[in-house]
Amino acid sequence: MKKIILLFTFACFLTSCNVTESIVFNENGSGQFLITYELGDAMKAMSEAMGGDSADNEKKKGGEVMDTTMVFADIMETYKDSVAALPAEKRLAMEAVKDMFMNMKMDQDEGIMNMGIGLNFESIDDLKDINDKIRKAQSLNSQGGQVDAMKENSPLGNFFGSENNRTNYSLTENSFTRVTKIDIPEGKGEEIIEKLFNEEDESNQEFMEYFENAFYNVKFTFPKAVKSISIEGAEFSNDRKTVGYKTNWIEYLKNPMLLDMKVEFVDE
């Protein structure tokens, strides 16, 4: 478990990736939340860094293939003695995410590496602390201090969003909303953005170019057909029960509210 979570954390911090936030709702309001990181480019970059992309190696097949799901509650039960011996911070993080799961799909030959963190929920209310739970799941590695130091002491740290962002979801019989709340001191928003995305800083320019082709994708599936959505450029499935849209990763970091929207359902 430690190796997979550590790989997940460093891959997210060391390379650009496409992120997909998805929710699938059932008829009774239960469903599944999943945030997936597509890290195929990360795997390729790591392979090249280790000399694994040479002409000879390209001719070889049989790279690692993995398709697995880890349920934190099962891990805690199977390794309960080890969990009990963890430092208090790690143990509390495990407790906080015990109702979540992590999956990984990897095919080295095909350049696929997708990792996700999810929650099977009983009602929309179970998602009220989802941002905190995701961060706690990402923190469950033995190298957390090194990762934090890397973020804080390099321009790379500018590109991973604010821990003060909270995404709130609301579902009624007639509508669904996604709303972002940002805890920034009044009057400080422009100052913070200007500092983080100073385009005169050569290091910032380099990372902005690196992330310009990364996207944050959103995909929602409902038991009812969607009549309208308050965001331009959204795409619908044939039955209009699934809606998806996206924005550039850097633009999202500058303004997380770009992905907020309201859906109205077809009257039935």
Helix (H) or strand (E) holding 61: none
Which tokens hold the place of 25? Answer: 């709702």
Which residues does residue 67 pair with via DSSP β-bridges, in sequence order?
Answer: 105
Helix, coil or strand: residue 110: coil
150, 256, 163, 170: which is closest to 220 by C-alpha?
170
Helix, coil or strand: residue 4: helix
pTM of the model: 0.78
Does residue 76 contact residue 154 with C-beta atoms inside 8 Å?
no
Residue 57, domain extent: 2-265
What is the number of domains present in the chain?
Answer: 1
Q: Are strands 175-182 and 261-265 parallel, antiparallel or unpaired?
A: antiparallel
pLDDT, mean of each 10-residue run, the chain (268 residues): 48 62 96 88 55 51 80 89 86 87 84 87 94 81 48 48 79 96 63 58 64 87 97 96 93 86 93
If 0-12 CB within 10 Å is exposed, 13-18 middle and 19+ buried, where does residue 155 land? middle
Q: What is the pLDDT of residue 10?
A: 47
